[in-house]
A = this chain, B = another copy of it.
Amino acid sequence: MPNVIIGQSGGPTAVINSSLAGAIKAAKMYGIPKVYGMHFGIEGFLKGDIIDMDDYLHDLNDLSLLKRTPAAFLGSCRYKLPEPEDNEEVYQRIFSLLEEYDIEYFLYIGGNDSMDTIKKLHDYARDHHKPQKFMGIPKTIDNDLAGTDHCPGYGSAAKFVATSMTELIADNESFGASDPRICIVEIMGRNAGWLTAASVLSDDSDCDGPDLIYCPEVPIDLDKFINKIKELIQVKKSIVIAVSEGLRTPDGKLVCELTDAYEFVDAFGHRQLSGCARYLANLVARETGIRTRAIEFSLLQRCSTHLASRADVDEAYNVGFIACEEAIRNNSGKMITLHVRSREPYVCDYQSADVHEIANVEKKLPLHWITRDGTYVSREFINYVKPLVIGTITPYYAGGIPKHMSLKYSKVRHDESEMME
């Protein structure tokens, strides 16, 4: 029986390793002799940087620990495969490595950029009559993948955002009328507001929730924004606002580009955005004279596995498992998708979709789930997201700190022989 290889690609999520664990479990169950990992995705694979998972995983407890491990255990990459006509050598290299390691099942955990990799490899194999099967495993905190109700990774990020919002709002309310405070919280999502919208889950009997929610699907009119805050501050002394990192003004400019922050552009042309909340906080402080704070959840919203949603962990595991199973059943060029038959009670099943319909497509938050003035989200959205954050997964603690699986990295030790004084 041939072997399987699994890769992780793009930004990590809190549950990307659950999908890895699910795929490994399926491979073992089906008696696959060797489960390989790509060290740093397809980019590492191209360099022959291949991991034998048996070196790291010895029993089922190790799989449980892997599920509780944040970030990409195998390492990730942001490498865009060239078109075969532009650089066929890359493809020849990949397929020769697959043959060398007797790998027939190629699983890739990632978002819409990563599904582009699956699509290209599947098409190349098909066109060149290669036996290998290529399956995509969905992963993104942005929830912007087409063809699936929602995406593993999103539920845990949503749970982090909602939990932290609840705690932040309580903190912001701690000071009275003599010390009003405005807090602007920046949430990930370049073009899609799914994660910013999830901040609404903090709204319950014990918490006001955010006062305003600005998703990137609707431009922000800065004058109206300031007026809205001036109205709000008349009736409450604690204001908390959720904004997407990718928010734009009506003329199409990114709010964060109104600042002078140092910027990076990755291989897919994505800019590392930051500074939207900071810009707005400075603006609000100037315009209102009220103490205003900008908070960026930054990487915490995608790596806080200690707060992962159980529903999300399980679905991530299942899509990994099923993708491996489907490859073994000779399916290829597909991504496993989630289909919610019922939201209350929550019933979700798994199908698959052609990666050609998923690669490079971004699914945005439907406009009819955003209020007409663009400052809040609807009850339908709340019903959509609620089941995705249910349940918790308890980290394995040692010394009070969650423990994780880890490939070994070079460690620089500090000289502790010489202390001050």
Contacts and interface: CB of A to CB of B under 8 A. Distances in A.
Given A77-B176, A164-B304, A378-B419, A392 B397 contact: yes
A298 interface: yes
A371 B207 contact: no
A40 B299 contact: no
Given A71-B171, A306-B163, A379-B416, A201 B401 contact: yes
A189 to B, nearest CB: 17
A28 interface: no
A176 B75 contact: yes
Kindly name the residue among A171, A400, A409 whose own CB sees the greatest number of chain B CB atoms within 10 A.
Answer: A400
A376 interface: yes
Contacts of A278: 261
A361 interface: no
Interface in A169-208: 170-179, 183, 201-202, 204-208
Contacts of A291: 264, 272
A191 to B, nearest CB: 16
A401 B309 CA distance: 10
Interface string A375-392: 110110000001001111
Given A235-B410, A300-B295, A371-B414, A400 B391 contact: yes
Given A207-B406, A262-B285, A171 B43 contact: no
Interface residues of A, number: 111
Contacts of A238: 409
A386 B78 CA distance: 38
B372 A420 contact: yes
A3 B267 CA distance: 67
Interface stretch (A130-138, A219-227, A326-334, A362-370): A362-370
A236 B412 contact: yes
Interface in A34-75: 39-40, 43-44, 49, 69-72, 75
A418 interface: yes
B306 A307 contact: yes
A100 interface: no
Interface string A350-364: 000000000000000
A420 B303 CA distance: 33
